[in-house]
Chain A
Amino acid sequence: MKHATEDELIMAYYQEAPDDIEEHLNSCTACQEELEALRQLLDRVRREDAVVRSEAEVDAAYGNRVWQRIESRLETRPTSGRVSRPNPSVRRFGWLAATLALVLGAYWLGRQDVAPVEIRVEERVQPRPTEGPEAGLVERSEADAILRVALVKHLEGSGLLVREVHNASAAGATDRLPKRAERLLATNRLLRLAARRQDPALDDTLQELERWLTDVAHLDGTSAAFAAVRSRMERRTLLLEINLHLKQLGGALPAKPTVRSPEGEAHVQSV
């Protein structure tokens, strides 16, 4: 019989050779020597690799570092795992949302300038009784719509603030920014009540936003406080997260402002 080919020897090494090859190997010294040489080489590769692997061993805290790096890159995922209708993250809020949306609608009407968004909220909220047995009872789909508007409006406002902080200087940041942060903070707390159980991803962003807004509200003109605010929003890529949620809710931040340079080239401001 012919000697074993190289591939047959490789099969024999992995103990996958057909019986007739095995039989030949048992009786042929030349092939046994070949197989032994192959075995020495491949075994040495294994030993060498084990050394390399052990040198590259990561410590016990590695998993935590991985998490720190990917946390902000995870896309928002509906908590149920099934997407059957648009805006799933809002649809789940249900009756809790209905009540909250009324509160929020009223909150905005009282506190902020009336923009087109608020007028829509007003139209939805006003026909409903605010006192008596039916108070707080709105249809679920309507509540969802209101909460969606509330979230979009809030995330847009927050996103714009993130952008402004990015483009501001430590000294300039104390002008109006802390006041705006304070207003957004109040809304943020209400929205978190709605998001907490139903949409962990959104709640996660709102929670981080709350910390950031608190920092901005306390800006005191020192460069240290300003640097802390900047580093917090950059570490978590806050704007990116806000944008992701906005996209899911069907909203978007206004286009970035563009400035004309003397050369006539349009420059998009960073962030």
Chain B
Amino acid sequence: MDLDLERARRGDRVGFQRLVERHSRDVFGVAFRLTRNAEDADDVVQEAFIKAWKKLPEFEDRASFGSWLYRIATNCAYDLLRRRQRRVSRESSYDAAEGWVEQIAEEQDISPEGRLAVHRDFHRELESALDGLTGAERAAFVLRHLEERPLAEIGELLGLKTNAAKQVVFRAVRKVRTQLQPLMEASR
């Protein structure tokens, strides 16, 4: 068994420090994918390790520490996405699926044709599409499509049965597609 892990489990901070140093970059990776910005990802990384420290006594040998930590981190990120979502839905009246594209277009009085020109950039449009998803949809989409996690695990994170989690993935893919398809056609 991992010596650092064994020490950390017994409450040794030096052992835990080594685990933090070894796993931070990986945790940042998934946190960044889910939150889409470095600052939030950084918050998630810190929160995940603080939680991990608290929960370490419950950690069981048969799991790998990396995947255990991964789940804690995705949970933290999902919490953050949900908090964000609540804030966004309170603050704005525009259709969340359209995201900031619509808002900016409206503010600057840009025609539908002009919108495509403004947001020609696929990258920005993708971020906008992901922004328009609910927290659950974004988590489901990122974990399924980008992290290639099994549906059962995604369901566990979202607190849903596997089949319900699948429906959330469908919904997310449909929304992303609706927003990105015009760009695909324009670039053809």
**Which residues of A does B touch, CB under 8 Å?**
6-7, 10, 14, 37-38, 40-42, 44-46, 48-49, 51-53, 56, 58, 60, 62-64, 66-67, 69-71, 73-75, 77-82, 199-201, 204
Note all chain B residues with C-beta closer than 8 A to A77.
11, 53-54, 56-57
Note all chain A residues with C-beta closer than 8 A to B181.
37, 41
Across the interface, name the chain B residue whose C-beta is closest to A45: B126
Q: How far is the CB of B11 from chain A (nearest CB, A)?
A: 4
Number of A-B contacts (CB under 8 A): 111
Q: Contact: A201 with B13, CB < 8 Å?
A: yes
Q: Contact: B180 with A70, CB < 8 Å?
A: no
Which parts of B99-158 form the interface with A (CB within 8 Å)?
122-123, 126, 144-146
Add 9 more A-B contacts to A53-B32, A201-B11 (CB < 8 A): A44-B184, A45-B145, A62-B25, A66-B49, A67-B20, A73-B46, A82-B57, A200-B12, A201-B13
Interface secondary structure of B, over-half rule: helix
Across the interface, name the chain A residue whose C-beta is closest to B10: A79
Q: Contact: A81 with B176, CB < 8 Å?
A: no
Interface residue count on the B side (C-beta < 8 Å):
45
Q: A53-B33, A58-B25 are in contact. Are A41 and B177 (CB under 8 A)?
A: yes
Choice from A51, A52, A62, A79 contacting B12 with Cβ under 8 Å: A79
Most B Cβ at <10 Å: residue of A7, A44, A66? A66
Q: A10-B173, A51-B123 are in contact. Are A70 and B28 (CB under 8 A)?
A: no
Does B164 make an interface contact (CB < 8 A)?
no
Q: Contact: A70 with B49, CB < 8 Å?
A: yes
